[in-house]
């Protein structure tokens, strides 16, 4: 199997099950025009997140890592009219693009983008009494994933779902000798999840237009 085949299958799945509407297509186009890195979730992955949020019956969602707001839009569209999504983005320029994309999609009343380092803004959310969140999606700088998980547990409840993107690292997750901070932190993340009795988790390998990676899903059990 090749990247060419993976991409072709992703394109087929997108056309059949997750076709872009005007707002989603514009979000990707504007993100590209603004020079944002092309690291947003793929359309099938966005639809997967959307369905997870709907199956979860989520009314409140926390996203760590906004980028241009593409995944934010998929998640926000799963919320009821009185739902709420808070997305945390480090880069002010990225946050501006995301806010514009959300406003164009009519989601700015549901989804709020906060700017700053997430490990600084997460304590602010706690002090404000935000949450508990029904779903947390972590897709930011990978070296801080262990810290993001700890905050996710503080801001959720039994029955909440935590989803972490990019946990396979093209297979590098199995390399015990890796010195890549993204790999070592993700291995630490797996250790934390595996040892925490409050979490019931699995991870899925994924291939597609974005290459070879995967997501971790963890339900807060107690």
pLDDT, residue 20, reads: 83
Q: Tell me the pLDDT tens digit for each residue of 65-120.
A: 999 999 999 999 999 999 999 999 999 999 999 999 999 999 999 999 999 999 99
Find the domain containing 196 and state its range. 3-220
Question: Residue 165 carries which DSSP code?
Answer: E
Q: Tell me the pLDDT tens digit for each residue of 13-62.
A: 999 999 989 999 999 999 999 999 999 999 999 999 999 999 999 999 99
**Number of domains, the chain:** 1
Model confidence at 194, pLDDT cuts 50, 70, 90, reads very high
pTM (two decimals): 0.96
Strand partners, 135: 61, 161
**CATH code for the domain of 211:** 3.40.50.150
Q: Is 26 exposed, middle or buried (0-12, 13-18, 19+ CB in 10 A)?
A: middle
Q: Which residues, other chains included, contact 181 with Cβ-Cβ below 8 Å and sequence gap of 6+?
A: 142, 143
Closest CA to 86 of 75, 101, 100, 78: 75
- Burial pattern 43-55, b for ≥16 Cβ within 10 A else e, equals bbbbbbbbebbee
Closest CA to 88 of 140, 31, 40: 140
């Amino acid at each position: 199997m090749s990247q060419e085949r993976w991409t072709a299958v992703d394109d087929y799945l997108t056309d059949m099950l997750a076709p872009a509407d005007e707002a989603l297509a514009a979000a990707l186009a504007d993100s590209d025009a603004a020079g944002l890195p092309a690291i947003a979730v793929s359309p099938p992955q966005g639809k997967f997140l959307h369905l997870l949020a709907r199956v979860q019956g989520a009314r409140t969602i926390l996203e760590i890592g906004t980028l241009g707001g593409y995944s934010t839009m998929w998640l926000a569209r799963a919320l009821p009219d009185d739902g709420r999504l808070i997305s945390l983005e480090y880069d002010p320029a990225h946050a501006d693009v995301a806010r514009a994309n959300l406003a164009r999609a009519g989601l700015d009343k549901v989804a709020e983008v906060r700017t700053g380092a997430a490990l600084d803004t997460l304590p602010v959310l706690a002090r404000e009494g935000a949450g508990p969140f029904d779903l947390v999606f972590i897709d930011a700088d990978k070296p801080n994933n262990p810290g993001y998980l700890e905050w996710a547990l503080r801001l959720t409840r039994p029955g909440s779902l935590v989803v972490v993107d990019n946990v396979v690292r093209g297979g590098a997750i199995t390399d015990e000798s890796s010195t890549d901070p993204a790999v070592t932190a993700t291995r630490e993340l797996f250790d934390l999840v595996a040892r925490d009795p409050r979490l019931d988790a699995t991870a899925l390998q994924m291939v597609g237009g974005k290459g070879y990676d995967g997501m971790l899903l963890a339900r807060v059990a107690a």
